[in-house]
Structure 1
Amino acid sequence: MQRVGFVIYPGFSIMGLAAVPAFELANLIGDEPTYDIHFISEDGGPIRTSAGMSVETEAFGETAFDTLVVGGGTFVRSSPPGLITFVQRAATQSRRIAAICTGAFVLGEAGLLDGRRVTTHWMHARELQQQFPKCTADVDCIFINDGPIWTSAGMSAGIDLALALIEADLGQEVVQAVAKKLVLYHRRAGGQSQFSTLLELEPKSDRIQSALTYAKRNLHRPLSVEELAEAARLSPRQFSRVFHAETGQSPAKAVENLRVEAARVMMERSRHPIDVVADQTGFADRNRMRRAFLRAFGQPPQVIRRNARSALDAASA
């Protein structure tokens, strides 16, 4: 069996353990258990998380782990010397080491990020880059695999990272079954953006939220201001004024951002021709979609698709 160690330390966020059920379910779905799961800390015993609950752990030892997973905390803080020493030793013994969210800082302190492309929660990416300038921090990915080092964005992205690890070990059929049991729609590709247009707009009223939800469900339609205003139960003039006041964007710009986000997801997850993607997400033609991609990402759709496929190939290598 493959030994998987989840590193626990004081102030650790319990969301860092959200990846554990993926390995647990993989054991139940496979012909025989693959993963021997351990919770480990410097001294062993109960370790208090940032939420106040305690997790029982084993003390660091000499036994090697096939996979070591270092979770993150609510805040970035310096790691205890014993933790850094353990992670450095593990780097010479383990097949792969993963960090969830701010766990990337632990790997950075251990010198494991030098020359690597990595990610972490977008709120801490700039700090990660400043503290460890020899790495390349990519804020736009939910997880990244660079050789034996795996890093993920915010805590929930740790589930996607765990599924990618399992897929690399056991194949797509098993990981799809695990995702289904976790009630996940799919495993998100590592290159998928951390950001969500609906979250960034942050509408304050139910009426504007209803209009945005309607728009997201009907991106294949032209979506005029009049149509969106009707969904919000406001006059077109009142709708435009309230929409801009709540989101800081015009309805047309917000709809374009929703279209770009939907098109990017289709480019990452499917092999549909660009013309089909443009049509299904409401762009008049591929040239209009290309211009929108350049405004949003600085890259054309073909590059987005190529990068997503490269990330998937790296995860399954």
Structure 2
Amino acid sequence: MMQKNQSQPLPSYQRFAQAMSPSGTRPFRVGIVIGPGFLPMDMVGIQAVFGFCPGAEIHLLWKSLDLVEGFPAWWTQPTTTFSDCPEKLDVLAVPMLAPETTNDPEVIAFVAKQGRQAKYLIGVCNGVVLLGAAGLLEGKRVTTSLNSLSLLHQLGAAEVVTSGGSVVVDGNLYTARPSIGSFEAALMVVDVAFGREFAELANLVLEYDPHPPLGPGTLENAGKVIAGKYSNLIDDMIQAYSQGAVAAYQRQAQG
């Protein structure tokens, strides 16, 4: 079922929304998977960018409408259950989810079905691993977070991009590194779906202009000591992703 909107009307925001999306605009349906352990920083750019688009319908998708906890301590109310998700989404987006959620067969099956029908497909950070488990990276050029890059060939990717920009595009598939990757992938989709003029307007509304205060979050900038600490922190999690996602992909590949 879908969560009914019980929020208090805010006329100032309503006027802004109506100016961005005039009455009669066809729906533009965006589904974002937000199961337990989702990483808010990997979904907020998607929600923000597409939320300004003409006809935007944002569906925060999960198995039920029960609250789920984003990591850390970001409790969120899903708006639409898997069973009530629109049959065909304009955008299906998958942020990083916990391994336990990524490896869940029901979640994989849902993403596989919706991902094959969506007009545009976005994976951010280890959300890309879930797309791989669902068989959606087969033969594609892709990227993901630093410590999961080694998994992508095992998930059917033809080419894994390890450096360069935050987003890699292959057809209708947009894979992104964490954090600002969610904004950039969404803006790139908007550029294709709505045209350059509207994309530039959205870019200005967001005032998107990142300036990392500590320099880029790259292995080269971090140096060996910090990179080693990061690797030690996340190695167990990457192993957990590997065990479930690779097995699920292999089952998908075998039909």
Q: TM-score, normalised by structure 2?
A: 0.66
Query: What are the equivalent positions in structure 2 for 1:22-33 lying under 5 Å apart?
Result: 22-26=49-53, 33=54
Match of 1:38 in 2: 59
Structure 1's 198 and 166: CA in aligned 2 closer, same or farther, altered over 3 A? closer
Match of 1:147 in 2: 171
SS of 1:11 mapped into structure 2: coil
Query: What are the equivalent positions in structure 2 for 1:38-187 lying under 5 Å apart?
Result: 38-57=59-78, 58-61=80-83, 63-64=86-87, 65-73=89-97, 78-129=102-153, 131-140=154-163, 141-185=165-209
Structure 1's 118 and 134: CA in aligned 2 closer, same or farther, altered over 3 A? closer
Q: TM-score, normalised by structure 1?
A: 0.54
Q: CA deviation at 1:78?
A: 4.3
What code does the residue aligned with 1:35 have?
A
- Bigger-Rg structure (1/2): 1
Structure 1's 171 and 82: CA in aligned 2 closer, same or farther, altered over 3 A? same
Task: After superposition, give the CA deviation of every residue in 1:291-316 in whole Å (9 maximum; x if it has no partner).
Answer: xxxxxxxxxxxxxxxxxxxxxxxxxx
Structure 1's 152 and 170: CA in aligned 2 closer, same or farther, altered over 3 A? same
Structure 1's 136 and 201: CA in aligned 2 closer, same or farther, altered over 3 A? closer
Q: CA deviation at 1:76?
A: 8.7
Q: CA deviation at 1:53?
A: 2.0
Q: Distance in 1 between matches of 2:217 and 2:62?
A: 38
Q: CA deviation at 1:201?
A: 4.3
Aligned residue pairs total 188
Q: CA RMSD in A?
A: 2.5
Q: Which runs of 4+ in 1 moved over 6 A?
A: 74-77
What code does the residue aligned with 1:42 have?
K
Match of 1:5 in 2: 31
Query: Retained in 2: the 8 A contact 1:72–1:155?
Result: no
SS of 1:6 mapped into structure 2: strand
- Identity within the alignment, %: 25
Instruction: For structure 2, list consecutive stretches of 5 or more residues without a partner in the other structure.
Output: 1-26, 224-255
